[in-house]
Chain A
Amino acid sequence: MATALARNPTAQPKSSVSAVEMGARQRDISVSEFFTKNRHLLGFDNPRKALLTCVKEAVDNALDAAEEAGILPEVVVTLTVAPSNGDAPPPASQATRFRVTVIDNGPGIVRHQIPPAFAKLLYGSKFHRLRMSRGQQGIGISAAGMYAQLTTGKPVQIISRTSARGAAHYFEVQIDTKKNEPRIFENKKIEWNHERGTQVTLEIEGRYQKGRASVDEFLEQVAIANPHVKLVYMTPERETREYPRTINELPPQPREIKPHPYGIDFGILLRMLHDTRSHWLSGFLSGDFSRVSPAVAQEICKTAKLSPNARPRNIHGTEAEALYKAIQATKIMAPPSNCISPIGEKAILHGLSKQIKGEFYTAVTRPPSVYRGNPFVIEAGLAFGEGPDQVAAAAPVAPAVPLAEGEQRDDDSELARVIRYANRVPLLYQQSACATFKVALETAWRNYGIAQSRGALPAGPMVVFVHMASVWVPFTSESKEAIADYDEIRKEIKLALQECGRRLGMFLRRRERAKSEFRRRNIFELYIEEVVEACARLKGGKLAKERLKAQLEKIAAKRTGGERTDAILGRDGGPEGLPHSIIVTVEGPEGEAPVLPGAEPSAAAPPEEPEPAPRKTKAKTKPVKRKPKTAKRKAKKPKPKKRKK
């Protein structure tokens, strides 16, 4: 934000300003001031989005804190219409002022940290470390507070308690936007009926609307990607929605890692050289980066023609450049991937089948990969179909009225929906700028038996789930709405979606085969009736109708393969080839096994129920836990190849 200035005042007309005067006007701009003016950068473009952003930031923080402390998160989100000047509050759809309260059961915040955590921009624990978390920059909740301050003038209210023995602290804080420092209005100890946790209350100007990109949708999607979270949501219409926890185990703690040498820019290298505590260059390299062993450090020094014993602080200019180039030219192992904790296939399946009605679900977790030195994992999932209730409900209604010419049965030309996540946080805005969405468009869904017009999403009752987990998710803007377009990321998303598509294609083909066989016999029966009647009329009534009908039906049964086909169909519709998928059916004529156990023989998890019972969870987390190990092994291989340029 530093201002650049022309230093040489040329011969100027009288009205213009001298360099001295101009110089006098120049001063620091605080981040807070900058963001006050550019609030759209942080996701506060309009009242509707602002409400969502506030909820999102508070929920992100709550989940991050609880998970980091090893606590199974329980979060209560309450939206209420805030009464303005004493009148009775308007209905939620018309209200313009809301009170957002988010309570978690996290570790709480120590007293002196509360004001800066909530009322100082770019203050936080997550920016300087490389570890997977929802928040990254330390802007979010403070920005929400700033927005509250800007629109309603109300301070942020915080209650926090770190243990049952300690007291609960109540704070009211605001940002001093000029200094980017917290201003404390109220600070006292209070009684609080929670043993431990934090409660944040914001009063903001906002708009509550249901549907796409709403708070409701956000929380629903949070529940899909975080089955270990118990979430309670009280809507502004005083409805209580509970998203119960379906997995009683925390996802594995992601570990913090040091930056990988490939991922840093030249400027960052310079800063690190300056800041390091190492006295020797080789020590700096092996100590401050991940995957740089002393041997690799020696090699880098040799390539850069620098002494391993050089003082890092003394390396400037051309030497630093040589070092930077040497790093890029040296083969270095891919960064460790245990810093990422993917959701896992089982958990995604759980989340999807719990929240989305469908007939078929599948999930894919890709092995870790690397972009710009940052490890990441792509996960994708699919929910397809109408769900047995809807199908059953729709079926008897259909054959009521015969169709007139030109009339048609409603075809669902509805397009698929893409739900996107970055580090388990749903992304609701700027869909078309997002790498995940672009790849979903590019994927040739038609190969999997799904209609797709050029440049559009596939058509059908389908939800596409994409999750990117990484120590540093590259967003296109501060408001964290879309994932940037790195080739490596695109490729992984594509592979994941293709795998999902392939499985869906298999499911569809299988279902289609069964259906068409059924339909075939069905239409023959219908037509036989017609043909027999017509023949009887042609013959002037002199025909043994029943006999002809029986004969034709016999031929039809023989032609369609009869019961034998069913048996064959049933058999090759076995579980192989469809790992990590669920098929849900009504007790229908096809009678398929509702659940296909995982393909890997080692998968310890027992097959799930057709409609997954929420409590049966213990066994399921096992495969998730194992994942990083196998993943690590795989990650080693591709790296050296990549470097051979």
Chain B
Amino acid sequence: MARAKPKKIGAVEKKLISVADAVITAAELRRDPTLSIPVRSLANVNFNEKRGIIEMGKRKQARTFFNVGMAKKFMQTVLVADALSELQRADLTTSLREIYYRTKHTMKGSSENTFDNQNESDPLIEDLEVSLAALREELHVRAENAGSIVGPVIFGDDGDRVDCARLGKGGYSVPSIVEPDFIEIRRCTADFVLLVEKGTQWNRLSEDKFWRRYNCVLLTGNGQPPRGVRRLARRLHEEYKIPVYVLVDNDPWGYYIYSVVKQGSINLAFESERMAIPKAKFIGLSSADPDAYGLPRNVGIKLNDKDIGRAKELLKYRWFQKKPWQEEIKRMLESGLKYELDALANKDFRYLTKTYLPRKLKEEDWLD
């Protein structure tokens, strides 16, 4: 993973060192050292309708050192910054968990640990991403490889040529960092990207060589797509000007996955710039599909209270205010049922490949 890099201090490292500078300057001025961290919550995101993405608001919270409630967090933040800068200097990438282990130790003269579990360090990395305006990838922190891609696309990865059309039905495992520095897209001849929520359906499509027939790239994130998958879809969309279609279950979570791909997430709103694909289309499963495709009622699943609550929240999100979307969600609530993609197998094992998707594409039956 290590790549040759110039010895001089990089931009990201400079940002990390600024944390130390904040402490030193405050100490000189006899002030309480303070880091200001943008608030990551629904209350502090705006939906930019023009650009079609969620943007982070201006609200910030001050994390001060000499406040009993925040002192530990402050100290931990500085420790994480130190660990991250170490990564920069050594030019390594690492996982969230390794950061946790790297920064954990017992404080001198006490039995108190700097961190007790990973839940304490993870949000601090996000805090630093946001406040330093550095993406996680730039900080050299990776997540699990949790996505797969197959189709007519060729990558350059650590100097290796990866032709995703020649990787069988398993495809290429999408790394968590797909920034141009790490992954190069050498060629892509596909007509569109199909981002599938579930691995099982991706397997079905890959096995049936759907991508060859319809000349597309098949991408999955196994549930909520991780950053790598989203960023890769965005790069393909942007660099090769091909549309992105999203295929998810027909339930509130499916809708939300689509919205994260399209507008960005609330928690990581600051990344929408680089992640969101405002032109992504929702291809299915729509709440209108059971009627249109004659899915029997008995393959539906009753919405539980959580589903209903979530759906009602979605109805209020500013990015779901378009009329077709309101109708879509309300239709699901009225029917009281949700449908999984897998339910299509009720008609035929290859219904998705042979009938459903071809018809959808032909009719251009999608939501924006």
Contact = CB atoms under 8 A, between A and B. Distances in A.
Contacts of A530: 75, 78-79, 107, 114
A516 B117 CA distance: 24
Q: Which of B17, B20, B68 has the most CB of A within 10 A?
A: B20
A642 to B, nearest CB: 51
Contacts of B65: 527, 531, 552
A268 interface: no
Given A527-B65, A555-B31, A556-B66, A548 B23 contact: yes
A551 B68 contact: no
Interface stretch (B81-89, B139-147, B174-182, B306-314): B81-89
Contacts of B28: 551
A451 B110 CA distance: 27
A551 B74 contact: no
Interface of A is mostly: helix
B106 interface: yes
Contacts of A556: 66
B19 A538 contact: yes
Contact of B82 (A534, A543, A555): A534
**Which of B17, B28, B71, B109 has the most A CB atoms < 10 Å from its CB?**
B71
Contact of B23 (A399, A531, A537, A558): A531
Contacts of B85: 537-538
B66 A524 contact: yes
A529 B116 CA distance: 18
Contacts of A5: none
A400 B110 CA distance: 9
B361 interface: no
A555 B116 contact: no
Interface in B159-178: none
A529 B85 CA distance: 19
Interface stretch (A338-346, A401-409, A470-478): A401-409
Contacts of A526: 107-110, 112
A559 B33 CA distance: 12
A516 B71 CA distance: 14
A401 B81 CA distance: 27
Contacts of A401: 111
Contacts of B108: 526, 529
Contact of A400 (B74, B86, B111): B111
Given A402-B111, A526-B110, A535 B66 contact: no
Contacts of B74: 527, 531
Contacts of A398: 111
A527 B75 CA distance: 6
A538 B16 contact: yes
A14 interface: no
A20 B75 CA distance: 97
Interface in A384-413: 398-403, 405-406
Given A535-B78, A548-B23, A556-B66, A403 B30 contact: no
Which of B32, B33, B66, B81 counts the most chain A CB atoms within 10 A?
B66
B24 interface: yes
Which has the most chain B C-beta neighbours within 10 Å: A400, A529, A534?
A: A534
B116 to A, nearest CB: 7
A527 B23 CA distance: 13
A538 B17 contact: yes
Nearest to B117: A405
B20 A538 contact: yes
A530 B74 CA distance: 10
A523 B111 contact: no
A454 interface: no
A559 B113 contact: no
A535 B114 contact: no
B27 interface: yes
Contacts of B78: 530-531, 534-535, 538
A535 B66 CA distance: 16
A529 B79 CA distance: 11
B72 interface: yes
Nearest to B75: A527
Nearest to B19: A538
Contacts of B16: 538
What's the interface size class on B, roughly?
Answer: 35 or more
B27 A551 contact: yes
A399 B33 CA distance: 29
Contact of A555 (B66, B72, B86, B106): B66
Contacts of B66: 524, 555-556, 559-560
Contacts of A531: 23, 33, 65, 74-75, 78
A558 B32 CA distance: 10
B100 to A, nearest CB: 9
A446 interface: no
A219 to B, nearest CB: 41
Contacts of B110: 399, 526
Contacts of A406: 117
Nearest to A516: B68
Given A529-B107, A543-B24, A403 B82 contact: no
Nearest to A398: B111
Contacts of A555: 27, 30-32, 66
Contacts of A534: 20, 75, 78-79, 81-82
A369 B298 CA distance: 72
Contacts of B106: 402
A399 B111 contact: yes
A53 B113 CA distance: 53
Contact of A538 (B82, B107, B109, B116): B82
Contacts of B81: 534, 538
B349 to A, nearest CB: 45
A402 B109 CA distance: 11
Interface in A551-568: 551-552, 554-556, 558-560
Contacts of B75: 527, 530-531, 534
Contact of A535 (B20, B30, B109, B113): B20
B32 A535 contact: no
Interface string A510-543: 0000001000100110110111001101110001
Contacts of B86: 537
B116 A405 contact: yes
A539 B20 contact: yes
Nearest to A537: B82
B111 to A, nearest CB: 4
Nearest to B110: A526
Interface in B5-55: 16-17, 19-20, 23-24, 27-28, 30-33
A520 B71 CA distance: 9
A552 B32 CA distance: 8
Contacts of B24: 535, 539, 543, 548
A602 to B, nearest CB: 43
Nearest to B30: A555
Contacts of B116: 403, 405
Interface string B112-134: 11101100000000000000000
Given A398-B111, A530-B114, A552 B27 contact: yes
A538 B72 CA distance: 18
A182 B75 CA distance: 82
Contacts of A520: 68
Contacts of B31: 555
A520 B68 CA distance: 6
A561 to B, nearest CB: 11
Interface in B58-78: 65-66, 68, 71-72, 74-75, 78
A127 to B, nearest CB: 63
28 contacts: A399-B110, A403-B113, A403-B116, A406-B117, A520-B68, A523-B71, A523-B72, A523-B112, A526-B109, A527-B71, A527-B107, A530-B78, A531-B74, A534-B20, A537-B85, A538-B19, A538-B20, A538-B81, A538-B82, A538-B85, A539-B17, A539-B20, A543-B20, A548-B24, A552-B33, A555-B30, A559-B32, A559-B66
Q: Which 9 residue pairs spanning A and B have beta carbons closest together?
A: A399-B111, A538-B20, A551-B27, A402-B106, A535-B20, A527-B75, A534-B82, A559-B66, A534-B78
